[in-house]
Structure 1
Amino acid sequence: MNAPTTLAELAAVTSRQALGAELPHESARLHVTGEAHYTDDIPELRGTLYAALITSPVAHGELIGEGVNREELLAQHGVVAVFTSRDIPGENNCGPIVHDDPFLADGVVHFLGQPVAVVVARDMLYAREVAKKAKVAVKELPAILTIEQALDAGAQVLPTKTVERGDAPAALAAAKHRLQGSTRCGQQEQFYLEGHISYAVPREDGQLTLFVSTQHPDGNQREAASALCLGTHDVEVICRRMGGGFGGKEGNASIFSQSAALAAFKLQRPVKLRVNRDDDMTITGKRHDFRIDWEVGFDDNGRIQALDVMLASRCGYSVDYSGPVNDRAMLHIDNCYHLPNLRLVSHRCRTNTQSSTAFRGFGGPQGMFGIETVVEAIAQHLKLDALDVRMRNLYQAPERSGDATSMTTHYGQVIEDFVADKLMAELEAESGYRARREAVNAFNAKHRGRQRGLALVPLKFGISFTATMLNQGGALVNVFMDGTVSVNHGGTEMGQGLNTKMAQVAADGLGIPVALVRVTGTDTQKVPNASATAASSGADINGAAINHACDQLRERLAPVAAGLLGCAVAEVKFSAGQASGGGQAVPWAELVKNAWLQRVGLSVTGFYKTPEIGYDNLKLQGRAFYYYCYGAAVTEVEIDTATGEWWCKAVDIVHDVGQSINPAIDRGQIEGAYVQGMGWLTMEECIWDKSGKLLTHGPSTYKIPVAGDVPEHFKVRLFDGMNVKPTPYRSKAVGEPPLMLGLSAYFAIRDAIAATAGHAKPVPLQAPATPERILLACEALKA
Structure 2
Amino acid sequence: MRKLVQTLPGIDHPTRQQNSPLGKDKSHESAVRQVSGQARYVDDMPEPANIGYVALGTSECAAGKIESIDLDAVRNSDGVIDVITIHDIPGHTDIAPVFDGDPVLAENDILFYGQPVYAVLANTTEQARSAAAKGVITVSDGSPTLTVDDALAKQSFVRPTHVIGNESAIETVSGAAHQLSGSLFVGGQEHMYLEGQVSMAIPEEEDRMMIYTSSQHPSEVQKLVAEVLGTKLHRVTVDMRRMGGGFGGKESQAAQWACIAAVLAQRNGLAVKCRLPRSLDMSVTGKRHPFENSWRIGFDENGMIQGADITVNGNCGYSADLSDAIVDRAMFHVDNGYFLGDSHVVGHRLKTSYVSHTAYRGFGGPQGMIVAEAMMDGIARKLGEDPLTIRKRNLYGETTGNTTPYGMDVGFNLLPDMISKLEASADFWQRRETITAFNKSSPIIKKGLAMTPVKFGISFTAKHLNQAGALIHIYTDGSIQVNHGGTEMGQGLHTKIAQIAAHEFGVDTADIEVTSTRTDKVPNTSPTAASSGTDLNGKAVQNACITLKERLIEFWAAECGVSSDGAKFENYQLTIGEHTIDFPALIQAAYLGRISLSSTGYYRTPKIYYDRETGTGRPFFYFAYGVAASEVSIDTLTGEYKVEKVDILHDVGASLNPAIDVGQIEGGFIQGMGWLTSEELKWDDHGRLTSNNMATYKIPAIGDTPAEMNVSLYRRPNDEDSIYHSKAVGEPPFMLAISVWCALKDAIASLDDYQTDPYLPTPATPEKVLDAVMAMQAKSGSNAA
Q: TM-score, normalised by structure 1?
A: 0.96
Give the Å deviation of 1:432: 0.5
Which residue number in structure 2 is paired with residue 648 of structure 1? 643
1:782 paired with 2:777, answer yes
Write the distance in 2 (CA, Å) between the matches of 1:762 and 1:455. Answer: 13
Aligned to 1:324: 325
The answer for the alignment partner of 1:185 in structure 2 is 186
For structure 1, the 5+ residue unaligned runs are 4-14
Aligned: 1:514 with 2:509: yes
Residue 268 of structure 1: CA displacement? Answer: 1.2
2:591 equivalent to 1:596: yes
The whole-number CA distance in structure 2 between the counterparts of 1:342 and 1:116 is 45
In 1, Cα distance between the equivalents of 2:167 and 2:199?
51
CA distance in 1 between counterparts of 2:355 and 2:221 reads 19
Could you report, residue by residue, the CA deviation over 1:118-164 in whole angstroms, capped at 9, with x for unpaired residues?
10000011111222343322223110011111111111111111222
Aligned to 1:101: 102
Contact 1:311 1:346 in 2 (8 A): yes
Query: Structure 1 CA distance, aligned partners of 2:755 and 2:408?
Result: 38
Q: Distance in 2 between matches of 1:204 and 1:187?
A: 44
Query: In the alignment, does 2:711 pair up with 1:716?
Result: yes
Q: Deviations over 1:560-600 (max 9, x none)?
A: 32245553222421111110123232110000000000110
The answer to whether the Cα contact below 8 Å between 2:407 and 2:618 also exists between their aligned partners in 1 is yes
- Aligned pairs (5 A) from 1:252-291: 252-291=253-292
Look up the SS of the partner of 1:611 in the other structure. Answer: coil
Matches within 5 A, 1:170-249: 170-249=171-250
Alignment-derived partner of residue 463 in structure 1: 458
Q: Does 1:415 align with 2:410?
A: yes
Question: Secondary structure of the residue that 1:140 maps to in structure 2?
Answer: coil
Q: Distance in 2 between matches of 1:351 and 1:637?
A: 36
What corresponds to 1:447 in structure 2? Answer: 442
1:760 and 1:409 map into 2 onto residues whose CA distance is 30
Local SS of the residue matching 1:380: helix
Structure 2 counterparts to residues 36-115 of structure 1, below 5 A: 36-65=39-68, 67=69, 69-115=70-116
1:618 is displaced (CA, Å) by 4.2
Distance 1:116 1:180, change over 3 A: same
Partners of 1:217 and 1:237 within 8 A in 2: yes
State the partner residue of 1:9: none
Give the letter aligned to residue 481 of structure 1. T
Asked whether 1:33 is paired with 2:28, we answer: no
Aligned mate of 2:721, from 708, 726, 748: 726
**1:541 aligned to which of 536, 545, 566:** 536
Query: Given that residues 16 and 513 in structure 1 are in contact (C-alpha distance below 8 angstroms), is that contact kept between their aligned partners in structure 2?
Result: no
Partners of 1:681 and 1:768 within 8 A in 2: yes
Whether contact under 8 Å (1:565, 1:585) holds in the other structure is no
Shift of 1:621: 1.1
2:731 corresponds in structure 1 to: 736
Show the counterpart of 1:342. Answer: 343
> Percent identity, aligned pairs only?
45
| Residue 487 in structure 1 maps to residue 474 in structure 2 | no
Cα distance in structure 1, aligned partners of 2:582 and 2:345: 61
User: Is the CA contact 1:93–1:100 (under 8 Å) kept in the aligned structure 2?
Assistant: yes
**Partner-residue secondary structure (3-state), 2:752:** coil
Structure 1 residues 523-562: aligned runs within 5 Å: 523-562=518-557
The one-character-per-residue Cα deviations of 1:399-439 (angstroms, maximum 9, x if unpaired) are xx3x7xx1111111112242111111111111110001011
CA distance, structure 1, for counterparts of residue 473 and residue 373 of structure 2: 49
Partner residue, 1:472: 467
Tell me which amino acid in the other structure corresponds to 2:583. W
Where does the alignment leave 5 or more consecutive residues of structure 2 unmatched? Answer: 4-17, 779-785
Counterpart for residue 505 of structure 1: 500
Task: Tell me what 1:11 maps to.
Answer: none
Question: What is the root-mean-square deviation of aligned Cα atoms in Å?
Answer: 1.3
User: What letter matches 1:689 in structure 2?
Assistant: D
Identify the match of residue 679 of structure 1 among 658, 662, 674: 674
C-alpha contact (below 8 Å) 1:565/1:582 kept by paired residues: no
User: Do 2:166 and 2:342's aligned partners in 1 also have CA atoms closer than 8 Å?
Assistant: yes
Tell me the TM-score normalized by structure 2. Answer: 0.96
1:667 aligns with 2:670: no
Match of 1:362 in 2: 363
Q: Give the deviation of 1:710 after TM superposition.
A: 0.9
> What does residue 766 of structure 1 align with?
761
Structure 2 counterpart SS, 1:743: helix
Q: Following superposition of structure 1 onto structure 2, how do residues 610-629 of structure 1 map, counting pairs within 5 Å?
A: 610-629=605-624
Structure 2 residue matching 1:638: 3-state secondary structure: strand
- 2:12 paired residue number: none
> What is aligned with 1:7?
none
In 1, the alpha carbon distance for the partners of 2:23 and 2:715 equals 13
| Preserved CA contact (<8 Å) 1:198 1:212 | yes
Counterpart-to-counterpart distance in 1, 2:467 and 2:613:
21
Q: Deviations over 1:427-478 (max 9, x none)?
A: 1111110001011111111111100000000010001111111100000000
Q: Which moved more, 1:689-698 or 1:130-139?
A: 130-139
- The change in CA–CA distance for 1:737 and 1:469 in structure 2 (over 3 A counts) is same
Across the two proteins, how many residue pairs are aligned to each other?
764
1:131 corresponds to 2:132: yes
